[in-house]
Structure 1
Amino acid sequence: MLKSLTSAAILAIACVLGAPSHALATTLSGKLVHVRDADTIEIATRRGRIAVRLDGVDAPELNERGGQAGKRWMQNVYSNATITCEFNGEKTYDRWVGVCWDKAGVDLGAAVIAAGHARDCPRYSGGRYRKFETPESRKHQQHNYCK
């Protein structure tokens, strides 16, 4: 009996520890430790390192015009900054999708668009970032997944 209870307890613990990663908390804060490109960052949190896809932001890929400049801008402005992200529960590739802001309350998506390094992605943003687009940001070709 004790052996079967021990086995059941071990199985229960393994299930909890091995729970799917979709159990991510809705909101997490951490230090921005890596910029993949202008719409994908990584933050170090108490739960480990989390890759975040900025929800509703359409930035050029690194091999596209403006991609490297957008990455450099994000690094220069936000590297090592404390960032808070609110996740929508979706995941794309290895990245959680969320809206992030800095300690001053500045939305990173709005900031990178206003700086001319990305565009609003209306399919996912519902148009919330359109007002931040500039003539420079509109020069970036919008990806098909945003239309």
Structure 2
Amino acid sequence: MTKLHYQAATIGLLIAFSQSVCAGEWIEGRVTHVRDVDTIEVNNLPVRLNGVDGPEPNQQGGRAAKQWMTKQVLRKPVRCELTGAKTYDRWVGTCYLDGEDLGAMAIAAGQARDCKRYSKGKYKKFETQQSLALPQASYCR
């Protein structure tokens, strides 16, 4: 397959995904961009990590958290289970790197917090003193 054919196929998939996704649907691919610690792009498709509350790049710890996630996943293959929900331009899902949950990794590394409203407390056990010191979005409380 030529590069042009690959790009056309990727654009076609993005258009299809942008219209509808079902809960439980999986996507796989390389991380092409890290927006911040809780939003990555998989083959240019934005995915918001479900139940993970990370600081924005302009907040306390935000730049370091983004750098941490970039080091972990950029250009690496991941697998994400989408919930079917969408927030802004991002699909919501749980992503895995070599079988390990990226959300759990970020929280255990002190780079994000559990957002219990969406995680139902799934990540609480991974929180550290460092992660608890990060700002938390009001919608997560």
Q: State the TM bucket, normalised to the shorter chain.
A: 0.7 to 0.9
Write out the 4+ residue segments of structure 1 that deviate beyond 4 Å after TM superposition: 17-20
1:27 maps to 2:26? yes
Give the unaligned 5+ runs of structure 1: 1-16
Deviation per CA, 1:38-61, whole angstroms, max 9, x where unpaired? 0000011xxxx2100000000001
Give TM-score, length-normalised by structure 1. 0.81
Offset, 1:19 = 8.9
Bigger Rg, which one: 1
Offset, 1:101 = 0.3
SS in 2 for 1:68: helix
- CA distance 1:18–1:39, shift in 2 (3 Å): closer
User: What is the letter of the counterpart of residue 31 of structure 2?
Assistant: L
Choose 73-82 or 91-100, whichever is displaced more.
73-82
Alignment partners' CA distance in 2, 1:19 and 1:90: 12
Give the unaligned 5+ runs of structure 2: 1-14
- CA distance 1:142–1:21, shift in 2 (3 Å): same
Alignment partners' CA distance in 2, 1:19 and 1:73: 28
Amino-acid identity (%): 49
Alignment partners' CA distance in 2, 1:20 and 1:61: 24
Residue among 85, 90, 96 paired with 2:85 = 90
Matches within 5 A, 1:1-147: 21-23=19-21, 26-44=25-43, 49-103=44-98, 105-147=99-141
SS in 1 for 2:30: strand
Alignment partners' CA distance in 2, 1:91 and 1:102: 22
Alignment partners' CA distance in 1, 2:38 and 2:16: 29
Alignment partners' CA distance in 2, 1:123 and 1:98: 15
Alignment partners' CA distance in 1, 2:42 and 2:51: 18
Alignment partners' CA distance in 1, 2:17 and 2:37: 31
